[in-house]
Amino acid sequence: RKEVEQDPGPFNVPEGATVAFNCTYSNSASQSFFWYRQDCRKEPKLLMSVYSSGNEDGRFTAQLNRASQYISLLIRDSKLSDSATYLCVVTLTGNQFYFGTGTSLTVIP
């Protein structure tokens, strides 16, 4: 079983739409959680960390549900520049990072 599972999409949404991605993880001992963004032919970059209390950064909101072992990312008022692949990342002990396969988002004018 994979450590991290994501719906690969693709998600094609119009500008201004709200879109949500979910991710599940298999190991209940997972310690830290992140969303990374990867543009086409570029390296992954940290988008935001995910906390149990939830956190918000502008149009982006991340939530963690430890009981159900899932992580979500909500993007409001989608912009063309949000088009990318969004990677769910979970760490285990020893700072070992495990990536999901990524969810592809295309925002359409």
Partner 1 sequence: EAGVAQSPRYKIIEKRQSVAFWCNPISGHATLYWYQQILGQGPKLLIQFQNNGVVDDSQLPKDRFSAERLKGVDSTLKIQPAKLEDSAVYLCASSHYRTGAETQYFGPGTRLLVL
Residues making contact with partner 1 (CB under 8 A): 4, 6, 8, 31-32, 34, 42-46, 49, 87, 91, 94-102
In terms of CB distance, is 9 or 61 closer to partner 1?
A: 9
In terms of CB distance, is 42 or 79 closer to partner 1?
A: 42
Q: What is the largest CA-CA distance in the chain?
A: 43
* Residue 6 dihedral angles phi and psi, to the nearest 5°: -135, 150
Q: Which residue has the tokens 């992954």?
A: 44
Closest distance between partner 1 and the C-beta of residue 85, in Å? 9
